[in-house]
């Protein structure tokens, strides 16, 4: 399969298991389970010819503000994943994904400080930039004053000025009233278009896989979802070409 995709110039990226998988859990048993589930995801990625795998950073077991201990657990998890990739010569690049801020759970990778810490400590780690998570964090900003600076719409420009070269995958969607990953709003006066153009400008010239990460619950049928994706891809292409 991998050889056939290479012949057709097809790039495959994938996502590690994330539901019920928390690498920063305080329970050693939960940490071990998270690592095993991630290893299975990496093995599957190798089978399907995926060159990059997105990882979530987990969440604080007790909510509130994440601590240095949470970040230590995340660093330990990434070290173990990198060692597994190296020992098994999987040839896969891992990409940590910025998280969306929530009221009930503090996630290390919603914090600019935490993301920058990981990128500075692990040269071989790349980043998956999720635009819906950026916008969701912006919506939550007023409710989370006690937390460190998050990667929201206000922080994205200076962040990319420093780390644009580490972004390897782009997730595209927009939070709506019911879900984090809704369909993007094409209106000029909305929040998505200026964010997307800011990001596109700073990532210009890069060969980055872009995934429209829409939840299927937002569509009545597969055909309806496919039509929406086709329309939104055309819209995004036109935005980039026009530069406005």
Confidence (pLDDT) at 147 = 67
pLDDT at 149 over 70: yes
What's the mean pLDDT in 90-101? 94
What is the pLDDT confidence band of residue 34, given thresholds at 50, 70 and 90?
very high
Give the residue with greater pLDDT, 141 vs 34: 34
Average pLDDT of the chain?
90
Q: Name 210's bridge partners.
A: 170
Residue 185 has pLDDT above 70, yes or no: yes
Q: What CATH number is given for 2-242 in this structure?
A: 3.20.20.150
* pLDDT confidence of residue 8: 58
Triad 113, 87, 22: Cα angle to 5°: 40
Is pLDDT of 103 > 80?
A: no
Average pLDDT over residues 69-95: 96
**End-to-end Cα distance, the chain:** 40
Structure tokens at 127: 């980043």
Q: 99 with 142: CB under 8 angstroms?
A: no
Q: pTM for the complete prediction?
A: 0.92
pLDDT > 70? residue 150: yes
- The fraction of the chain above a pLDDT of 90, given in percent, is 67
Residue of 178, 176, 179 lying closest to 187 (CA atoms): 176
Instruction: Name the nearest CA neighbour of 167 among 219, 113, 207.
Output: 207
Output the pLDDT for position 142: 67
User: Across residues 135-154, what is the average pLDDT?
Assistant: 81
Q: pLDDT band at 61, cuts 50/70/90?
A: confident
Which of 156, 92, 170 shows the shortest CA–CA distance to 127? Answer: 170
**Average confidence (pLDDT) over 121-150:** 87
Give the per-residue pLDDT at 139. 87
């Amino acid at each position: 399969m991998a050889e056939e995709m290479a012949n057709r110039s097809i790039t495959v990226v994938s996502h590690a298991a994330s539901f019920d998988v928390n690498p920063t859990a305080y329970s050693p048993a939960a940490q071990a389970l998270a690592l095993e589930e991630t290893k299975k995801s990496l093995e599957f990625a190798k089978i399907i010819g995926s060159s990059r795998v997105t990882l979530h950073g987990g969440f604080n077991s007790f909510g509130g503000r994440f601590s240095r201990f949470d970040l230590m657990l995340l660093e330990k998890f990434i070290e173990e994943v990198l060692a597994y990739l190296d020992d098994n010569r999987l040839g896969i690049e891992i990409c940590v994904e910025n998280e969306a801020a929530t009221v009930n759970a503090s996630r290390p990778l919603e914090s600019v400080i935490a993301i920058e810490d990981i990128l500075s400590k692990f040269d071989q780690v790349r980043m998956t930039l999720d635009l819906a998570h950026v916008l969701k964090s912006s919506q939550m900003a007023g409710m989370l004053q006690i937390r460190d600076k998050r990667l929201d719409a206000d922080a994205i420009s200076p962040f990319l000025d420093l780390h644009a070269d580490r972004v390897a995958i782009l997730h595209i969607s927009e939070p709506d009233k019911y879900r984090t990953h809704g369909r993007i709003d094409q209106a000029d006066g909305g929040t998505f278009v200026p964010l997307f153009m800011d990001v596109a400008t700073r990532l210009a010239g890069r060969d980055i896989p872009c995934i429209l990460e829409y939840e299927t619950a937002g569509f009545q049928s597969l055909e309806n979802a496919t039509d929406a994706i086709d329309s939104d891809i055309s819209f995004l292409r036109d935005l980039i070409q026009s530069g406005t």
